[in-house]
């Protein structure tokens, strides 16, 4: 079974590039060049030195002693929360800005929902002295003021989008329009393993530094390169793709992807795409998405902004179909509870997204000797308002 992208840009029946004619040239340029660039010695040297000296990699693999006691297994946390800007997203934006430079681009565009990807993009633009334009739905601009301020301080221009629902999907449409109008000097940095080929493959390769590190870190700590389980949350799927990447063909490793169930899978307020979705086209690729009978995309819901997306990367549609990855989900409440448990047992405040992965620990049956890696994709600073609300409600 092939779990990686094929020559036509598909994962089984999913993926491809369903894009307007006007965008063909931009995508073709990227498609023709991305593999040569990321496999070149020049790129690899620059990428790895920025990852270590700027982003702070390798991220630690931490043995969580008290959490392990709680779940009767050996639980390790992959600390992506300790990266510069607080999440795994920086791995991708560093890689893509280096590619943009090699392609001779001088201007970056990005779209963002919660603002995490926008901040990561604005950060690397400041670092490289490139112009940065971030499209963001007007509603999200109002909801995510601290990240908007960060982007502005970093020198990015944030454009509020007032079409449609004024959220992520509308911001994406504006970014695509911009790219079509500025094909020669602009690179579009997509923030997850979504979008037309080659983006899903490109982003997965850039994020695969996570599983590359896991191999030697596990060998050092356990004497074995592979764990029994890897658990990661999925919005689009970039932290999961990077964590699973080097283990996809190793059937010893059980791979678990955790979606955001929101208020419950059957509540109508959910972001559990695999549980509730069906095949269709979103963001330029064929995948699974949440839609109504007329094929209109359903507005997703999750307490966690990073998982609040109505689709999933095409790689994960395929990994689900082939059953290579086991899908699970956690509700808002389960995630909040898991975040507090980690905080009180280990002194680590996680972001709400990986709190969903932590919640899955209580739903799996481990053997006492199992080695379990949970991907801690980001830190909790951005989620303090949600945590405070939970504390007030529960009198914690």
Ligand X SMILES: *Cc1c(COP(=O)(O)O)cnc(C)c1O
- Name the token pair of 373: 């890696």
192 in contact with ligand X (CB under 6 A): yes
Quick one: 249 exposed, middle or buried, by C-beta within 10 A (0-12, 13-18, 19+)? exposed
Query: Considering beta carbons, is residue 94 or 307 the nearer one to ligand X?
Result: 307
In DSSP notation, 333-356 reads: HHHHHHHHHHHHHHS--B-HHHHH
351 in contact with ligand X (CB under 6 A): yes
In DSSP notation, 31-50 reads: HHHHHHHHHSHHHHHHHHHH
377 in contact with ligand X (CB under 6 A): yes
> Which single residue brings its beta carbon nearest to ligand X?
378
234 in contact with ligand X (CB under 6 A): yes
Q: Which of 68, 172, 217, 239 binds ligand X (CB under 6 A)?
A: 239
237 in contact with ligand X (CB under 6 A): yes
123 in contact with ligand X (CB under 6 A): no
383 in contact with ligand X (CB under 6 A): no
Interacting stretch for ligand X, rule CB under 6 A, among 145-153, 210-218, 290-298, 347-355?
347-355
Interacting stretch for ligand X, rule CB under 6 A, among 150-158, 176-184, 230-238, 333-341?
230-238
In the complex, what is the shortest distance from the CB of residue 239 to ligand X, in angstroms, rounded to a whole number? 3
98 in contact with ligand X (CB under 6 A): no
Size of the site for ligand X (CB under 6 A): 18
217 in contact with ligand X (CB under 6 A): no
Task: Scan for tokens 């990240």, then name that residue.
Answer: 147
What 3-state class would DSSP assign to 328?
strand
In the complex, what is the shortest distance from the CB of residue 309 to ligand X, in angstroms, rounded to a whole number? 8
User: How many Cα atoms within 13 Å fall on the side-chain side of residue 256?
Assistant: 26
Query: Which residues are designated catalytic?
Result: 89, 111, 377
CB–CB of 219/225 below 8 Å?
Answer: yes
CB–CB of 96/105 below 8 Å?
Answer: no
| Residue 31: Cβ within 10 Å count | 17
115 in contact with ligand X (CB under 6 A): no
């Amino acid at each position: 079974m092939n779990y990686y992208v094929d020559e036509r840009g598909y994962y089984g029946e999913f993926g491809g590039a369903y894009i307007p004619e006007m965008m063909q040239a931009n995508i073709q340029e990227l498609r023709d060049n991305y593999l040569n660039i990321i496999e070149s010695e020049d790129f690899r040297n620059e990428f790895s030195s920025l990852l270590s000296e700027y982003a702070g990699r390798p991220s630690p693999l931490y043995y969580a002693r008290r959490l392990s006691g709680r779940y009767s297994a050996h639980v390790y946390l992959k600390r992506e929360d300790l990266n510069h800007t607080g999440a795994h997203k920086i791995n991708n934006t560093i890689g893509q800005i280096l590619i943009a430079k090699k392609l001779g681009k001088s201007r970056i565009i990005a779209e963002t929902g919660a603002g995490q990807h926008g901040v990561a993009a604005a950060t690397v633009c400041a670092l490289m002295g490139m112009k940065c334009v971030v499209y963001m739905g007007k509603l999200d601009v109002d909801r995510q003021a601290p990240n908007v301020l960060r982007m502005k301080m970093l020198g990015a221009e944030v454009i509020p989008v007032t079409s449609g629902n004024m959220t992520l999907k509308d911001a994406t449409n504006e970014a695509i329009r911009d790219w079509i109008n500025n094909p020669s000097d602009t690179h579009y940095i997509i923030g997850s393993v979504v979008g037309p080929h080659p983006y899903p493959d490109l982003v997965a390769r850039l994020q695969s530094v996570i599983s590359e590190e896991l191999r030697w870190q596990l060998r050092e700590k356990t004497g074995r390169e592979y764990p029994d389980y890897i658990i990661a949350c999925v919005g689009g799927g970039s932290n999961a793709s990077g964590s699973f990447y080097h283990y996809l063909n190793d059937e010893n490793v059980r791979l678990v992807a955790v979606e955001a169930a929101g208020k419950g899978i059957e509540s109508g307020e959910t972001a559990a795409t695999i549980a509730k979705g069906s095949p269709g086209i979103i963001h330029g690729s064929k995948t699974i998405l949440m839609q109504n009978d007329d094929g209109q995309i359903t507005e997703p819901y999750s307490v966690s902004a990073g998982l609040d997306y109505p689709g999933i990367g095409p790689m994960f549609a395929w990994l689900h179909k082939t059953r290579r990855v086991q899908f699970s989900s956690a509700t808002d409440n389960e995630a909040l509870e898991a975040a507090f448990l980690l905080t009180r047992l280990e002194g680590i405040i996680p972001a709400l997204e990986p709190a969903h992965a932590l919640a899955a620990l209580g739903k799996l049956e481990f053997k006492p000797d199992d080695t379990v890696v949970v991907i801690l994709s980001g830190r909790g600073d951005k989620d303090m308002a949600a945590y405070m609300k939970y504390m007030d409600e529960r009198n914690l």
